[in-house]
Amino acid sequence: MAMIDPRRIGAILFLLASPGIAQKPADLTALLTQIEGAVTLSSASRAEFRLVRRAVQRQIIRRGEVVHVPAGARVTVICSTDQVVSLTRPQDWILEATTCGLGASLPPSSYQNLASDAGRILPRNGVLLAEFETRYVSPRLGPFLLSPLDTVVMDARPRLVWTQVPDAVEYEIEIRGAAGMSIRLAADDLHCGHGSGPWHDLDVCSWAPSGKWPMLEPEKPVFLKFGSRQAVTAPLRQAQEVYQIHLLSGNEQRSVQEDLRQIAALPVDPASRFLLNAGTYARRGLYADAISNYDQALQAREVPEARVTLGDLYLTVGLTEPAEREYRRVLAGTPGSAAQAAAELGLGQTFYVRKRFDDARAHFERARDLYAKLGLSAEAEDARAAASRLSGNGSP
């Protein structure tokens, strides 16, 4: 198990959704999902011979392309105008603004929550990471809160997940802010052991707050500190980290729930549904829920761009080692060049946080070269600027 050093280190400024050759609103495109049967594609050219190719899941098509749906086949088309069209009968359907306009409206940014741009999926108006402070954490020095971590929540009594301290017989949660109290929890009364989902490579403890927990209120943040004891009468070993969580407002909660209701009714494959849910949560700053849904999407289907985005989200909440794990998994597979570049950039960030500046610069430079070959000039410039912050001797 990796080591946690609970230090805060200022991170490099990354605006990861630089314009580059990102899609403009006028560039009508669509993503194909829930493909069943021999659905094929061709151009709308009137030439006698047209190249026909088999449609595949998550394929992006452009204005004027024809979707051929034979008898017994079906496909769902997610337009970049945030409209969905279900093709369930034999037809030749052409991607145009008018044909998309006949579809049902989707929650805002649904297309962005599914399609990739410069190697990642960017759920928050195209920007996921900006300037932030991140932590280099190691589960052995815990307890370290994993979820919800410095984020908003929808549940007034959110389930807490933190790293298990092997010799702990008791944990204590100090609460300050709108309410002030300390809660002592016997380790034997908690669910502790090997984690699952996003925490599958960690030993964790989880607790569903009961009457001991103060009811959270919108706009009234609470601050948490965690500690552990080796014996009930032993002194408290308290971690230095202070975490802030606050409840989403009632209006925002209703908006999220309505978006999730619409997504649940869509004729899309499971991976796409989880990606849409993840984007909905991330746009509202509900990062714990977003991380969980990206993880579930990746269990349903490997999407390198979604894995990069999961790594980005881990970095956003300061979990450096899980972020590195996801970036390395991308590079260990067969990603496209854009996802490879984005993973290299993310790895550079994780090494920068660890003050391994030579390694950070090497990853930034690899990201720069890959972006440049793709013609993504703005992304290449971001990576170049990151590398240039590190001097020739490997330090900023």
Residues 68 and 164 grouped into a single domain: no
Classify each residue of 89-115 as buried b or exposed e, where b means 16 or more C-beta atoms within 10 Å of its C-beta. Answer: eeeeeebeeebbeebeebbebbbbbbb
| pLDDT score for 26 | 56
Instruction: Tell me which residue range forms the domain holding 233.
Output: 133-247
| pLDDT score for 241 | 87
Residues 167 and 243 grouped into a single domain: yes
Listed residues 52, 73, 108: the one ending a domain: 108
| pLDDT score for 168 | 94
Residues 83 and 142 grouped into a single domain: no
Residue 266 lies in a domain: no
Residues 148 and 53 grouped into a single domain: no
CB 313, CB 290: distance < 8 Å: yes
Listed residues 247, 275, 303: the one ending a domain: 247
Q: Beta-carbon neighbour count of residue 21 at 10 Å?
A: 14
Listed residues 93, 108, 123: the one ending a domain: 108
Residue 12 lies in a domain: no
Residue 196 lies in a domain: yes
Residue 305 CA to residue 117 CA, distance in Å, equals: 8
| pLDDT score for 395 | 65
Residues 100 and 140 grouped into a single domain: no
Residue that the structure tokens 């990151």 belong to: 386
| pLDDT score for 393 | 53
DSSP character at residue 253: H
Residues 35 and 91 grouped into a single domain: yes
Residue that the structure tokens 């761009």 belong to: 305
Residues 137 and 243 grouped into a single domain: yes
Outline where the chain has alpha helix (H). 97-101, 110-114, 250-264, 270-283, 287-300, 304-316, 320-332, 337-353, 357-374, 377-388
Residues 215 and 161 grouped into a single domain: yes
Classify each residue of 164-200 as buried b or exposed e, where b means 16 or more C-beta atoms within 10 Å of its C-beta. Answer: bbeebebbbbbbeebeeeebebebeebebeebeebbe
Q: Beta-carbon neighbour count of residue 72 at 10 Å?
A: 10
Residue 314 lies in a domain: no
| pLDDT score for 136 | 54
Q: How many distinct structural domains can be found in the chain?
A: 2
Contacts of 364 (CB under 8 A, 6+ apart): 344, 345, 348, 383, 384, 386, 387, 390
**CA R_g for the chain:** 23
Residues 96 and 177 grouped into a single domain: no
By residue count, the chain amounts to 396
Residue 243 CA to residue 270 CA, distance in Å, equals: 33
Print pLDDT tens along the chain (396 aa). Answer: 333 333 333 333 343 333 333 344 458 999 999 999 999 999 876 554 568 899 999 999 999 999 999 999 999 999 999 999 999 999 999 999 999 999 999 998 999 999 988 888 864 333 344 333 445 555 456 799 999 988 899 999 999 999 999 899 999 999 998 778 999 999 999 999 999 888 888 899 999 988 788 888 898 899 999 999 999 899 999 888 899 999 999 999 999 999 999 999 998 999 999 999 999 999 888 999 999 999 999 999 999 999 999 999 998 888 888 999 999 999 999 889 999 999 999 999 999 988 899 999 999 999 999 999 999 999 999 899 989 988 655 566
| pLDDT score for 213 | 87
Residues 94 and 150 grouped into a single domain: no
Residue that the structure tokens 């088999």 belong to: 54
Q: Beta-carbon neighbour count of residue 22 at 10 Å?
A: 15
CATH of the domain at 164: 2.60.40.10
* Geometric angle at alpha carbon 288, from 287 and 293, rounded to 5°: 90
Residues 222 and 152 grouped into a single domain: yes
| pLDDT score for 365 | 95
| pLDDT score for 4 | 37
Residue 251 CA to residue 249 CA, distance in Å, equals: 6
Outline where 150-269 has alpha helix (H). 250-264
Residues 173 and 229 grouped into a single domain: yes
Half-sphere exposure of 144 (CA within 13 A, CB side): 23
